[in-house]
Amino acid sequence: MMKQTKHIIFGPSAAGSLRYIINEYRLNQDVISINDDLSNGPLQTIEDRIEFGKKLINSIDPDDEEFAKYVELAIKSWPSPENFTDCKVILWHCENAPEQLMLQMVVKQLQDFEELYEVALDNKISLARGTGEYTPEKLGSFIGTETKISPERKHELIRNWNQTVQQNGTLRIWKNEAVVTVDERYYDALLLHNCKNEFVNAARIVGETLGITDQLLSDTWLNYRLLQLVEMQKIQARGNLKQLRSFEVSLIQ
C-alpha cells in the first residue's frame, strides 16, 4: 500500500500556492503550513513562544483578539509525530532564517521517521527571499524532485537546531549559508534610516524596511522594534501607539 504524502511548507502564502498546484495535478496529497516565524522569539518550548507572542501583541495591538488568536495558532502549528504515522513527509524550504529553522525544527520533531524528504529551492533562480514568492506553476515544476534526508543530513540539521536553541537568543538571521543569532537591535539601524525629519505613518516605515532588507522576516517584529525605539527615545511619535496605522514617527530634532 502506497504511503500518504504530506508536504510541509512555511507560511500560508506558500501553502496556498502548493495546494493549488497539487489540486491542478490531481494529486491526493496534503499540504501542512508551519506559520510560526522561528527567526524571532525563544525556541526552548512552545509555551515560551506563546508567552513571547503575547508580549509582542500587547506592545502592538492588545485589543486585536483575531491577531492574538492567529499568533497562538501559528506557534501551535509545530508538527506532532502522531499525525505523521505511515506517511511520506516532504519539507519545502528556501535559504532564509524562518524556513531553515522550520526545516531543522520539523526534522528534530520527526527524527525517528524514515520517510523524510526535502525540496531545497534555490533563492537565486527566482530571486525570491522565500518560498511564498514562488508562483504555483514554479512550485509545480519541483514536484517529484524531492531527495531523501540522509541520516548524516538529519544529524546535521538536529545539531544546528540544538545549537541555536542553546544560544537562547530572540532574533536570528540567514548569513553565510547558516542561521546566525544576532542582537535583537539588528534591524534598528534600518528602521532609523527610513525615519524622516517630519512625521511619517509608522506602517510606511515598517513597509519600507521590509522592502530593502535581504532577509525574510515578519512585519510583527519590526512593529515591535519601532515601538522599542520610541520607548528608548531614539525617535518621537504621535497618535495611538497601540495601533500601527494610527500613529506617526519622526526623528528627534
Cell 535581504 maps to which residue? 214
Q: How far apart are CA 89 and CA 81, in angstroms?
A: 11
Choose from 53-57, 75-79, 102-106 the range with maximum mean pLDDT.
102-106
Domains of the chain (ranges; CATH) run 4-167 (3.40.50), 188-251 (1.10.10)
In DSSP notation, 109-137 reads HTTT-S-EEEEE--HHHHT-SSGGGS-HH
- pLDDT-derived band at 123, boundaries 50, 70, 90: low
Tell me which of 45 and 116 has the higher pLDDT.
116
Q: Do residues 181 and 163 touch, judged by C-beta distance below 8 A? A: no
> Which is nearest to 37 in space by CA: 162, 190, 220?
220
Instruction: Work out the average pLDDT over 67-90.
Output: 87
Cell of 203: 506602517
Q: Whole-angstrom distance between the N-terminal and C-terminal Cα of the chain? A: 71
pLDDT tens digits for 198-246? 999 999 999 999 999 989 988 889 999 999 999 999 999 999 888 777 8
Q: What is the pTM of this model?
A: 0.93
Tens-digit pLDDT profile for residues 159-196:
999 999 999 999 999 999 999 999 999 999 999 999 99
pLDDT of residue 73: 86
